[in-house]
Amino acid sequence: MSTLQNTSSSSIIFLLTGVPGLEAYHTWISIPFCFLYTSALSGNSLIPFAIITQPSLHEPMYYFLSMLSTADLGLSVSTLATMLGIFWFNAREISFKACLSQMFFIQLFTVMESSVLLAMAFDRYVAISNPLRYASVLTDLKVVAIGVAIVVRGTLIQTPLAVLLKRLSYCSSHVLRHSYCFHPDVMKLSCTDTRVNSAPGLTALISTAGVDSIFILLSYVLIIRTVTSIASPEERKKAFSTCISHIGAVAVFYIPLFSLSFVHRFAKRAPPCVHTLVANACLLTPSVLNPIIYSVKTKPIRKAVLKVLRSSMAKS
């Protein structure tokens, strides 16, 4: 490694890390990861396909679900090559440009998922508080506009982070602590002042996951207030049951995300493998569990998925 290199140089190579201390068991560790990736890719491909092909699912709620699956699919694809490459072939090297691209898409799809969860909370609030106006409030055109806004929002927030990383110089160790390129991880390898990079990174986190989580919580406060005003206990139960899947999706997204932040901030003395496993779980947990949650808890999705599976088996 050279003592000082500028990020504009195509010769910069970073080294990714598998599970520290367990390198001899990487082949065995790859087995559960292969299973998780297979589940994530198949589940998040099947749900959008079922929604597209089943006219009965052409509603805002299911359009947002297909967006959620697309974001989860993007997260899985963004990390698949590097993670399994390390476990199978010990392929740890990644160029700076490839690292920057991976980091950008990981963060883009993470922001998109957070944004979609917020849009789904708004969808549930409108459906419960004003069901008669639901179709007029959330038209197909408005759903498309929300989808475009979600992509634009993520791109505008993440682009400055990538641009600012390119201005840094990197020296000494080029070893990253994860199996994929993580923004704080890359920034810590710089031998120049990173204060300019830290502020946009913190701002991006607060303005996305921070703001979205607050508005999701506010949406559920309003939903609970609306549900408790319904006279019939049966209708209250029916209204709240439509939110169960979304609550599960919010939990499997934010709990690992906050756990990762907690580990990085307060568990610095923990074994390196703890940081790596929590970081990997943070990315894979939502992608694996969201299709299961919606297939189990949402009857129309379950029926559509089973119909698609039966149709594909019949053709084969």
Query: Which CATH number covers residue 220?
Result: 1.20.1070.10
Euclidean distance between CA atoms 7 and 103, whole angstroms: 15
- Closest to 117 in 3D by CA, of 76, 73, 65, 153: 65
Q: Look at residue 3 and tell me if it is in a domain.
A: no
SS3 string, 121-157, reads: HHHHHHHHHCHHHHHHHCCHHHHHHHHHHHHHHHHHH
Q: Which 3 state secondary structure label does DSSP give 214?
A: helix
* Six token digits for residue 176: 């990253």
Residue 218 binned pLDDT confidence (cut-offs 50, 70, 90) = very high
Is 60 exceeded by the pLDDT of residue 278?
yes
Q: What is the model's pLDDT at position 43?
A: 95
277-304 burial, b if ≥16 CB within 10 A, otherwise e?
Answer: ebbbbbbbbbbbbbbebbbebbebbeeb
Domain interval for residue 268? 10-315
The pLDDT of residue 172:
67
> Is residue 4 included in any domain, yes or no?
no
Please, what is the average pLDDT of the chain? Answer: 88
| In-domain check, residue 285 | yes
How many structural domains is the chain composed of? 1
**pLDDT tens per residue across span 142-180:** 999 999 999 999 999 999 998 888 888 887 678 998 899
Identify the pLDDT of residue 2. 40
pTM above 0.85, yes or no: yes
> What pLDDT shows up at residue 150?
97
Q: Return the amino acid letter for 29.
A: I
Give the model confidence (pLDDT) of 39-73 as tens digits. 999 999 999 999 999 999 999 999 999 999 999 99
pLDDT at 79: 93
What is d(CA 235, CA 221) in angstroms, rounded to the nearest whole number? Answer: 18
In a domain, 147, yes or no: yes
The pLDDT, as a whole number, for residue 9 is: 45
In the predicted structure, residue 3 carries a pLDDT above the cut 50: no
3-state SS assignment for residue 18: coil
| pLDDT score recorded for residue 10 | 52
2 in any annotated domain: no
